[in-house]
A and B are shown apart, each in its own frame.
Chain A
Amino acid sequence: MTDDIEQILVTSLDRRAASPVDTIQLAATAARRGRGLRHRRYAIAAASLVAVATVGAFGVTALSPRAGGGQAVGSGTPEKTRTAEPEGNDPTPPPGGWNVPQLPAASGVPGAAAAPNLVGADPGTLHFTVDGLASSESVTWETGPGVESISFDHGEWTAQITLARDPARLDTVTRSHLVEEFSWPEPETRNVTVGGVPATFYVHDGAQFDVSYLRWQPVSGVWAQVWGPDNAADAAEVASRLRLDAAYRCVLPIRIAALPSKAKLLGCKVGLTGDEVTDVKGASTRLSEAIVTVGVNDNEAKVRVTRRLGLPTTPDMSLQGHPANMTKNDRREWLIVAPDFDGVDIELSGRGAYDYPELTVIGEGITVDGDLRDPATWPTKLVG
């Protein structure tokens, strides 16, 4: 039998790989995601372009508005059934256009313009916003060590604006976008201005992908970065939409009652869709993904919340009475997955010294609360 090991391998691989593939859908999805990466077709309103993007010595002197006007608002498009799984696969906006809800305002908290020292200091708060977020197909707000960011889609392109007091933090964010190892060759730089403030557009010409981003200091003590657009003019236009005059709470539809000893909130991420989608059980939601990171030093746990995706799991434990599955990865780190945990999928993962007991403490204290379509109804505190 073992003499036929290669033949068994061949038949095993053949059988495992075989099943139909929808190449039409694949091509459409890949092309759309590719356009999102390239951003070349972003239509810019001429007026805003003139107002904000002064592009100098590198030859990008003018842009022409393109058909579509940059508004991803449908006009009489027949309503379609939107399902949870093909997120991002169907860019057709609903009849009323995309409408991403804003996060709740952090009352009494100043924006980055008034308090630049607060940027990146509180993982529960973002000290800026971006004009036009509501008409995006989806928006993701995120905080982490020393950084705050907002990512948004608009039709065929996506962009991310990140604030940090330390520009090295922005490097970390940029690297997180890269699928492959990146050698960081010396970049080309281009000087532009954003609202009259000098900015630099960097282009690293990688072996397989270019990496480009725009950086500037919108106020003293705060660095900003636009990631996504592959040309200085588009990046500058995106940058012009930065608003530093308000603060917003990063909220999730869960609350964590208890943390391991000395642990604190380290990061928050929440993604919302511009239209209601249905999860696998038919419930309406705007939640795409949300993550809370808690911990201390290098020990941390992440609680990931998504709408119900019908995860294939084999229950071998329970979390507050909900069937769950626990596994360890190659670094012996725990992962607990609880599908359909009071209307959402919950995933807990631990790093460093955070092991099963710590994850259990966190998991046993999770409460799902609020309308998944409306972040205004979500708990005001992530932890405690």
Chain B
Amino acid sequence: MTFEEYVHARGAALVRFARLLTGDDHRADDLVQEVLAKAYVRWRRISSADRPDVYVRRMLVNGNTSWWRRRSNRELSVAEVADRPSGADLGTNASERDFMWRLVTRLPPRQRAVLVLRYYEDLDDATIAEILDCSPVTVRTTALRALAILRDRYRAFEPIMGGNRD
């Protein structure tokens, strides 16, 4: 598979993955470009790997984590991280989704990465562990910890959200 074929086949998925990792569309585009540019340099080696997609996604996760450290983890304002409203958003489910997304954006990068890989990419723990360069047990505990945080915060605000619906 050539580099171009890979990007045409997997580029959209990588950008969507990066959007969830970064919480910022512009940053996601830049991150994917940056990582793919580096992958281009090593494409012969990467494409000969068993699963180049795992390798590239690991690069994305590492790149995002590194960016957070390097750029002092700029905190995005709520306006930046919140979903853009649309006519279809004006319902209870949309509120839940928007609120959940805001909670996700406040998770540490690694916890967020685990959740995205698990619940968006729908990968098994072994593959996630491979991407994150850790053990499947660590993936599991990280996911559980992140879910616990989300659940706690969601519960704390559920009455308020319920009030908004009325």
Q: Which residues on A are within 8 Å of B, measured CB to CB? A: 1-2, 5-6, 8-21, 23-24, 26-27, 29-38, 179-181, 208-210, 230, 312-314, 325, 327-331, 333, 335, 349, 351
For the complex, would chain B's binding face be called helix, strand, loop or mixed by DSSP majority?
helix
Query: How far, in whole Å, are A223 and B75 apart by their CA atoms in the complex?
Result: 38
Please tell me if the beta carbons of B34 and A9 are within 8 angstroms of each other in the complex. Answer: no
Q: Is the CB of B77 within 8 A of A30?
A: no
CB-CB nearest in chain A for B102: A12
Q: Total A-B residue pairs with C-beta atoms closer than 8 Å? A: 162
Q: Is the CB of B16 within 8 A of A17?
A: yes
CB–CB A34/B36 < 8 A: yes
In the bound complex, do residue B119 and residue A327 qualify as a contact, i.e. CB atoms below 8 Å apart?
A: no
What residue in chain A is nearest B21 (Cβ atoms)?
A17
Given contacts A17-B19, A23-B11, A329-B74, contact A2 B154 (CB under 8 A): yes
B42 interface neighbour in A14, A209, A331, A351, Cβ under 8 Å: A209
Cβ contacts under 8 Å, B98 to chain A: 12
B117 to chain A, nearest CB (A): 10
Contact with A along B29-57 (1 / 0, CB 8 A): 00011111111111100000000000000
Using A23-B7, A30-B7 as known contacts, say yes or no to A36 and B37 having CB atoms under 8 A apart: yes
B residues with CB within 8 A of A: 3-4, 7-8, 11-12, 15-17, 19-20, 25, 32-43, 59, 62-63, 66-67, 72-80, 83, 93, 96-98, 100-101, 104, 115-116, 119-120, 147, 150-151, 154-155, 158
Which residues of B have CB within 8 Å of A327?
A: 74-77
Q: How far, in Å, is B152 (CB) from chain A's closest CB?
A: 9
B8 touches A27 (CB 8 A): yes
Q: Which residues of the partner chain A approach B119 to less than 8 Å between Cβ atoms?
A: 6, 9-10, 13
> B16 near A9 (CB under 8 angstroms)?
no
Closest B residue to A20 using CB positions: B12
Give Cα distance in the complex from A331 to B4, angstroms.
Answer: 40
Q: Which residues of A contact B16 (CB under 8 A)?
A: 17-18, 21
Q: For residue B62, give the distance in angstroms from its CB to the closest CB of chain A.
A: 5
Q: Is B20's CB under 8 angstroms from A16's CB? A: yes
A209: nearest chain-B partner, CB-CB: B38
Give the CA-CA distance A110 to B76 in the complex, in Å: 45
Chain A residues, CB < 8 A from B77: 313-314, 325, 327
Most A Cβ at <10 Å: residue of B33, B116, B154: B33
Residues B37 and A30 in contact, CB atoms below 8 Å apart: yes
Q: A2-B154, A17-B16, A31-B7 are known contacts; what are 12 more A-B pairs with Cβ within 8 Å?
A: A2-B155, A8-B97, A12-B98, A13-B104, A19-B25, A29-B33, A30-B37, A34-B39, A209-B38, A327-B75, A331-B72, A331-B73
Contact status B120-A21, CB under 8 Å: no
Q: Give A14 to B20 CA distance when docked, in angstroms.
A: 9
Q: Which residues of A contact B36 (CB under 8 A)?
A: 26-27, 30, 33-34
**B7–A12 CB distance below 8 A:** no
Contacts of A1 in B (CB 8 A): 96, 158
